[in-house]
Structure 1
């Protein structure tokens, strides 16, 4: 597995975790993405490995951006803007989703924290000059309204937790609320829950939940913490996210739209090449 140098702090990116330290299985992910159709702008690891709570049987979530030829966008055929593939590789479940560069840019401009996390993931499997340019533009894409993404995601995951009682949706709920609070307060994207616990005030039992999830993918949260306490703490985190959004220095709208447009055009025309 290849690793990339630490990204400059001026880009607002958290220090990389490194592929070897993220609990990933011993698989050549570079070879996996090299098998995919067409040029890739980048490929990173997302999901539980990025969030810091993988279990022994967690699948590998690969996310990235591919580059369609110009003819695919101007002809009569519908462009293949999103490619999804799930398969088993030597007993390991692989999940790969990539978007064409233009669609990915549109998602970035919709204040989608999920795609920002994919772009800024320190678990880099493939990178290019265009990827590095996208990373450099990321601080200009952050807005106060990214809080809506994390608030909505947390609400969905909490409802799932209430139905199942499982650790996974609970950890997602906690993770996205703390990521949103961290982003609103400091203007940085941090999806890694163990790091968040060290940087943002969080319930004391979160490390226990992470340890339980590592031991059993579908473990029950009630074995670690009382459900009534959980509800109180989740409600308090929502209040903190609301307050952090109200006080944030982040702007209302992204400021890098024109630069993002220019990057798409130059990359599509081969300047820089996606195969650098």
Structure 2
């Protein structure tokens, strides 16, 4: 599958005249709880030729493709990624932590990651994760059953919200370090669910243990209440603007073409 993904990324570069600087896995496989039928959620960051950023017309800032049974491929222009970092959006924070990297220009991830801490908003990150957890929890049936995939869309975001609250920092992408925030009994239950999911379809319906459900609701209320009075951060975009300019110039292939054209 790795070869298939690399070939797909190369084809996208050629078709759209872009340069992919970073590509990673950003789904259950990277989070640490895949199912046998989990697809590959490939996410990438790219730049376009510098002239496209100078046009009076708005340029497209993302690339999406039809999802098939194996691949879900999606990419964001670097400018969009930096704009989202400025808003303390959790998605770039997670992509840059992925344990499964398909492609990377040397040093690119480290450079972006070094900026992330300066744009972390405790309030916005907590509320983002609580929103995901709430939406997934609403799929719980009256009989107390839920798709195992959806249950993990409750558990991981809820743990991430708690991490942001109690550690006041960007939450880890993978679930294993997040489990340290759970009481031993809840941690064991979650690990058993991870083992179950590893051998079951993502659509498998499971009954949520009463103790686990009470724990989920208690933690949700705790994070929601504790974060309600947190300040709204305001950030300076200077570092991101500097990163944007330096990066598009560093990886702009047309610069080489201009020099070759100007040579005697």
Scaled to the shorter chain, the TM-score interval is 0.7 to 0.9
Determine if contact 1:150/1:177 at 8 Å carries over to the other structure. Answer: yes
Which residue matches 1:133?
A: 111
Q: How many residue pairs align between the two structures?
A: 240
Separation (CA, whole Å) in 1 of partners of 2:75 and 2:242:
21
TM-score normalised over the length of structure 2: 0.80
Separation (CA, whole Å) in 2 of partners of 1:138 and 1:274:
24
How far did 1:229 drift?
A: 3.6
Distance change (3 Å), C-alpha of 1:162 and 1:107: farther
**1:191 is the counterpart of 2:173:** yes
Deviation digits for residues 146-181 of structure 1 (CA, Å, limit 9, x no counterpart): 111111111111113448721111111100010121
How far did 1:230 drift?
A: 4.1
Determine if contact 2:35/2:199 at 8 Å carries over to the other structure. Answer: yes
What SS does the aligned partner of 1:83 have? strand
Separation (CA, whole Å) in 2 of partners of 1:179 and 1:50:
15
What SS does the aligned partner of 2:12 have? coil
Separation (CA, whole Å) in 2 of partners of 1:261 and 1:130:
15
How far did 1:205 drift?
A: 1.0
Separation (CA, whole Å) in 2 of partners of 1:86 and 1:46:
17
> What are the ranges of 5 or more consecutive residues in structure 2 without an aligned counterpart?
254-264
Q: Which stretch of structure 1 is more off in the superposition, 34-43 or 57-66?
A: 34-43
Which residue matches 2:39?
A: 59
How far did 1:97 drift?
A: 0.8
Mapping for residues 1-276 of structure 1, pairs under 5 Å: 27=3, 29-37=5-13, 38-75=18-55, 77-86=57-66, 88=68, 93-128=70-105, 129-145=107-123, 146-162=125-141, 165-186=146-167, 187-197=169-179, 199-202=180-183, 203=186, 204-216=188-200, 217-222=202-207, 225-226=208-209, 228-242=210-224, 245=227, 252-253=232-233, 255=235, 257-268=237-248, 270=249, 272-273=250-251
What SS does the aligned partner of 1:35 have? helix
Deviation digits for residues 77-97 of structure 1 (CA, Å, limit 9, x no counterpart): 541211012355xxx611111
Separation (CA, whole Å) in 2 of partners of 1:168 and 1:182:
21
Deviation digits for residues 178-231 of structure 1 (CA, Å, limit 9, x no counterpart): 01212332224212223321x212523111211221111211221xx43x4443
Separation (CA, whole Å) in 2 of partners of 1:213 and 1:256:
43
Distance change (3 Å), C-alpha of 1:220 and 1:258: same
How far did 1:48 drift?
A: 0.3
Distance change (3 Å), C-alpha of 1:221 and 1:169: same
Rg larger in structure: 2
How far did 1:30 drift?
A: 3.5
Determine if contact 1:154/1:173 at 8 Å carries over to the other structure. Answer: yes
Separation (CA, whole Å) in 2 of partners of 1:205 and 1:211:
10
Structure 1 outlier segments of 4+, above 3 Å: 25-32, 161-164, 228-231, 242-248
Cα RMSD for the two superposed structures: 2.6
What SS does the aligned partner of 1:221 have? strand
Determine if contact 2:2/2:102 at 8 Å carries over to the other structure. Answer: no
> What are the ranges of 5 or more consecutive residues in structure 1 without an aligned counterpart?
1-24
